[in-house]
Amino acid sequence: MDTPRSNFLKTQIQADLDAGRSDCVVTRFPPEPNGFLHIGHAKSISVNFGLAAEFGGQCHLRFDDTNPEKENQIFIDAIQEDLRWLGYEWHGEVRFASSYFEQLYQWALVLIDAGNAYVCDLDAEEARAYRGTLTEPGKDSPYRGRTTAENRDLFQRMRAGEFADGACVLRAKIDMASPNINLRDPILYRVRHATHHQTGDDWPIYPTYDFAHGQEDAIEGITHSICTLEFEDHRPLYDWLIEHLPVPHRPRQIEFARLNTSYTVTSKRKLKLLVDSGTVDGWDDPRMPTVAGMRRRGYPPAAIRHFCEEVGTSRSDGMVDMAMLEHAVRGHLNETAPRAFCVLRPLKVVLTNVDETSVLRIANHPSDESLGHREVPFGPELWIDSDDFRESANKKYKRLVIGKRVRLRGAYVIEADRCDTDKAGTVTTVYCRVIENTLGEDPGDGVKPKGVIHWVASHGAATAELRLYDRLFNDANPGRAEELLSVVNTDSLATIVDAVIEESLTNAEPEQVFQFEREGYFVADRHAHSNATPVFNLTIGLRDTWGGGNG
RNA sequence: UGGGGUGUCGCCAAGUGGCAAGGCACCGGGUUUUGAUCCCGGCAUUCGCAGGUUCGAAUCCUGCCACCCCAGCCA
């Protein structure tokens, strides 16, 4: 269903295939297990898994776990769950950079033996000073001239745990005057006496991203290592390491622009701030752009995948309109969500010429009969939305007005005669008459109803809690704000505790999405919903093109 | 003012010398027992700017301009 579209990644991979530089396509999604997946990751996942699928190749899931102090098993589990939920299946076992630590260590020795790496005792601050600046070249470290034997001995002792954290590092010997700062003798290993979630206390030293990533790709036979633009400057180093090491395969790194979506932030620090400040309910709050958040919000995984594909893949920075994601969500839900009735602001209607209850059979979807029908109780007293009634209104108002007719969706046409109001002037009850023979037919007298409204019979109803979500930020580009919390939309959540739902909805399963007719799509909350205490989250409202403000 | 990138409709984005796809948004009109969906139609004489090459340029050349990334023992 997703129309294949051209992008530079496909073009270049096809060129590699045609030229014989590659004979298959193997990609990988390499998250560091230090946080939850978000919409940006979903894009990367879509790109990597999509490319593999399109070219008949495979995509690996590899945890880039080279920094134990920031990582956690919790994220390893959560990421796998999110990936599966999104609908992707990685090839083979889950991989870990940490399972290549011994090989990486051996290759570091190869670099040392060839005079391409050395142990440097400069501390972090000194190293920064020696590195130079963007416009000035760096200076050689005083330890750059150590002999191969000395470097080998020192590095082996680093590995043996003889040095304290930060005491020394292993560096590649490239060029301290390179205009590309990544080539100014980059650090390959650092000493870190930390327990690793996978390797325990086996290692007192850990490879850096630069030393690990390309080699991991080579080990796994990754043909195309797709990453984001900020790694472009690292490519020369990526290639340098591959060239100087006896790796079994030569992967190619290609960068693309990360996805930015309006009205959202994806920085780990900022997402954490939202959680820690209590602005949201947690990492899976329905307003969060995390995969878990979108799941709890009721976004179909297929819609997220479709959106990632529709948005395209390029090398130019930009910000995609959130409306595009919402369009994808509505599109999928319109086709798949069963319809049901829910009255958000209950107003009592008494049908003065009805005195018996009955049951109506109503289609669950206006155009897809496979979704079947449901039985909906009908009777002399019902609830309609208070917004759907006015004592008087102009002809643009297509709902219930005294002296006028409206159709009860799936049921009869009624006409309002009068209403009761309390001392504040608020309407409390509307008295109407059912027009004879209007079930499935227009009134015989030719007077057509002004519109169609939804309803729930009071004798066949239940109460539900509704959580109405709106965008989390007032600023389209919240990531740019100096103070993130100053641009949060304080009205991003409105709770209705006494909405009225038709009784069939009490059988909803957590995570099941419905379209509450004329209102929007709602999902039974993963955590709070139960048949006894129904709780629905607003996934997304129906598109509202009603220009008229009054009536 | 070092290096690396990017500039095509309000937002994404195809296009790779032959006469500007598509989607989102928006604006009209039609259908409709959801003011939804669906359907039809409109929406860049112009591709950051200025020159040049060519019969012909968004695509090639030159020079500008704007924006993004890089000085973690993070990834």
A39 and A7 Cβ atoms separated by less than 8 Å:
no
Smallest CA–C1' separation from A454: which nucleotide? B34
Spatial distance from the CA of A208 to the C1' of B75 (Å): 9
A342-454 CATH? 2.40.240.10
Domain boundaries, chain A: 8-256, 268-338+463-540, 342-454
d(CA A333, CA A520): 10
Spatial distance from the CA of A261 to the C1' of B51 (Å): 38
Complex ipTM = 0.97
Task: Please tell me which residue lies nearest to nucleotide B13, judged from CA to C1'.
Answer: A312
Spatial distance from the CA of A257 to the C1' of B6 (Å): 10
- State residue A4's pLDDT score: 67
| Residues making up the binding site of A | 32-34, 38-44, 64, 209, 228, 258-259
CA dihedral sign of residues A325, A329, A332, A335: negative
Spatial distance from the CA of A41 to the C1' of B17 (Å): 38
Low-confidence ranges of chain A (pLDDT < 50): 1-2, 550-551
Spatial distance from the CA of A330 to the C1' of B39 (Å): 18
| Covered bases, chain B (protein CB within 7 Å) | 1-8, 10-16, 21-25, 27, 33-38, 67-75
| Catalytic-role residue among A10, A32, A150, A526 | A32
| Residues making up the binding site of A for ATP | 32-34, 38-44, 228, 258-259
Fold match flag (A8-256 vs A268-338+463-540) = no
| Catalytic-role residue among A70, A258, A348, A526 | A258
d(CA A551, CA A549): 7
A268-338+463-540 CATH, one of 3.40.630.190, 1.10.3720.10, 2.40.240.10, 2.60.40.1170: 2.40.240.10
Instruction: Report in angstroms the alpha-carbon separations of A380 from A87, A356, A401, A457, A464.
Output: 47, 7, 19, 8, 22
Could you confirm whether A252 is annotated as catalytic?
A: no
A8-256 CATH? 3.40.50.620
- State residue A70's pLDDT score: 97
DSSP string, A147-184: -HHHHHHHHHHHHTT-S-TTS-EEEE-S-TT-SSGGGS
- State residue A1's pLDDT score: 37
d(CA A247, CA A303): 40
Q: What is the 8-class DSSP label of residue A543?
A: P
Smallest CA–C1' separation from A97: which nucleotide? B75
- State residue A401's pLDDT score: 97
Using N-to-C axis directions, what is the helix angle for A39-54 and A73-86, rounded to 10°?
60
d(CA A515, CA A522): 6
Phi first, then psi: what are they for A207, rounded to 5°?
-75, 155
| Residues making up the binding site of A for L-glutamine | 64, 209
Return the SS3 of A329.
Answer: helix
Could you confirm whether A335 is annotated as catalytic?
A: no
Instruction: Report in angstroms the alpha-carbon separations of A224 from A9, A87, A259, A316.
Output: 9, 22, 19, 20
Could you confirm whether A268 is annotated as catalytic?
A: yes
A196 and A80 Cβ atoms separated by less than 8 Å:
no
Q: What is the 8-class DSSP label of residue A245?
A: S
Cβ neighbours around A353 below 10 Å, total: 11
From the CA atom positions of chain A, what is the Rg in Å? 31
d(CA A347, CA A381): 10
Phi first, then psi: what are they for A57, rounded to 5°?
-105, -150
Task: Please tell me which residue lies nearest to nucleotide B67, judged from CA to C1'.
Answer: A317
| Catalytic-role residue among A70, A268, A345, A526 | A268
A237 and A186 Cβ atoms separated by less than 8 Å:
yes
Burial A6-18 (b: 16+ CB within 10 A, else e): ebebbeebeebbe
